[in-house]
Amino acid sequence: MSRSQAVKAAPSRALVERYATVRARSLFLAEPLTDADATVQTGPDACPAKWHLAMPTAFFETVVLKAHLPNYRPFDERLLALFDPFPESAGPRLVRAVPGLITRPSLDRVREWRAHVDAAMSTLLGEGAVGPDVEAAVELGCNREERQGELLLVDILHLFSCNPLKPNYREAEPRRMESASVDIPLWIGFPGGIAEIGRAPEDGGFAFDAERPRHQVLLRPFELADRPVTNGEWMEFIEDGGYRSPLLWLADGWEQILSEKWSHPLYWERRDGIWWTMTLRGMQPVDMSAPVAHLSYFEADAYARWAGRRLPTEAEWERAAEDVPVTGNLYERQALRPRRADGSQPGLKQVFGDVWEWTASAFAPYPGFKPSAGARAGSDARFANNRYVLKGGSCLTPASHIRASYRMAQQPHRRTAMAGLRLARDA
């Protein structure tokens, strides 16, 4: 055992409060849901809401409590087998190929399990002597749960959009009618040369494996639009035949157009000459001044080509965002949808919050990548092929969960995430 593992100390008050905050937020997210809402799965890319609540709970029970709390008794070993946080690990587990067909445990049973785990975690963290390995595992679990929370909202929005009644997840909040016109985007220039991206240990704070190591990249001078593309600008793309022009699209993207018959962003529909969109607050008129959302990589790439621009690389995006404060229309504002840019703000706008921004970069390990050991192994160590990087977070992302180095990976055809784009060009 290393010296750092042997030394034990009282967990920081900040960590105890963070665990409590993250766990309480998840229960708040599930508060409006019925058991039926939390059980249904809308497709292979989605997950039932109660699974989003259960999987982080299985993580804390498996990685923290069973390993570090003496005489801990699991709530139900069968639930651990069902919601195994590391399903590719060795050992038997229950078959869960189609989670939407697994009606038990009920949502209330999952809540009881969460309460059992939270009480045991309170005991462990309240004993006043945990090692740095425990603190690291708790922080990892909190970050995993925050990520699951955003996915819960994404999947609930998709579920409710499939319901002909178009129910509200939260109380309807009529959109304030604003002018659809916004300022023409300004271009912010950045010099070329050697830049550093990624997260280094000395930077402090948490980071997933995929954000490490911090490393050098060579950039050519580039420019970014000062704000994301808006719904109104996307309308110009639609009206100019963007969804009907095969030369704008990557080959796989055009196959999606033909097979899925895409002609507008996900959740848009036209009623009596007005475009509406499904939101977590029910059907709302499309705000033409707000950032466009629910786009696939294929759509973002096609729009950039139509506009005579391109998507930024993740290195360009991170270089531009490294000194920008993590503020904006994030989850804490409870807008639950993108808002228009503040025209009075100088420089880059809406870097964090509102919409995730597609980059042109494939999700791959950084040079020198090594997965962390122990509980952190596998957190982001398994790099799947055919995924692209998004940056910046969205209106559904907690402020404590986002930073310039954060990398979200998404398959190029998926549209359910709160994802948009910001244009780039060579200087």
- The gap between the terminal CA atoms of the chain, to the nearest Å, is 53
What is the structure's pLDDT at 59?
96
The CB-side HSE value for 314 (13 A sphere, CA atoms) comes to 25
Residue 77 structure tokens: 């070993």
Residue 423 structure tokens: 């244009």
Kind of pairing, strands 187-190 and 222-225? antiparallel
**Predicted confidence (pLDDT) at residue 329 exceeds the cutoff of 60:** yes
% of the chain with per-residue pLDDT over 90: 81
Cβ–Cβ under 8 Å, residues 332 and 399 = yes
Axis-axis angle for helices 13-30, 107-126 (nearest 10):
170
Cβ–Cβ under 8 Å, residues 396 and 338 = no
Q: Helices marked H in 127-192 — which ranges?
A: 132-161
Select from 41, 33, 44, 78 the least CA-distant residue to 58: 78
Distance between CA 53 and CA 38 in Å, rounded?
9
331 exposure class (CB count in 10 Å sphere: 0-12, 13-18, 19+): buried
What is the structure's pLDDT at 90?
43
> Which range has highest mean pLDDT (80-89, 333-342, 370-379)?
333-342
**Predicted confidence (pLDDT) at residue 178 exceeds the cutoff of 90:** no
**Predicted confidence (pLDDT) at residue 6 exceeds the cutoff of 60:** no
What is the structure's pLDDT at 1?
36
**Predicted confidence (pLDDT) at residue 11 exceeds the cutoff of 70:** no
Select from 100, 114, 123, 99 the least CA-distant residue to 27: 114
What is the structure's pLDDT at 3?
36
Mean pLDDT value across residues 111-130: 91
Distance between CA 58 and CA 74 in Å, rounded?
10
What is the structure's pLDDT at 29?
98
CA 80 to chain centre: 25
30-61 pLDDT per residue, tens: 999 999 999 999 998 899 999 999 999 999 99
**What topology is assigned to 3-161 in CATH?**
Four Helix Bundle (Hemerythrin (Met), subunit A) (1.20.120)
Task: Tally the residues of the chain.
Answer: 427
Domain boundaries along the sequence of the chain: 3-161, 187-426
> DSSP secondary structure string, 340-392?
---TTS-SS-S-SSSSEEEEEEE--PPTT--PPSGGGTTSS----SS-EEEES
**What topology is assigned to 187-426 in CATH?**
paralog of FGE (formylglycine-generating enzyme) (3.90.1580)
Lookup result for tokens 């069968």: 78
CA 370 to chain centre: 23
The residue among 375 and 236 whose pLDDT is bigger is 236
**Predicted confidence (pLDDT) at residue 373 exceeds the cutoff of 90:** no
Is the bond leading into 213 cis (omega within 30 degrees of zero)?
A: yes
> Helix or strand or coil: residue 291?
strand
Mean pLDDT value across residues 119-143: 90
Is the bond leading into 11 cis (omega within 30 degrees of zero)?
A: no
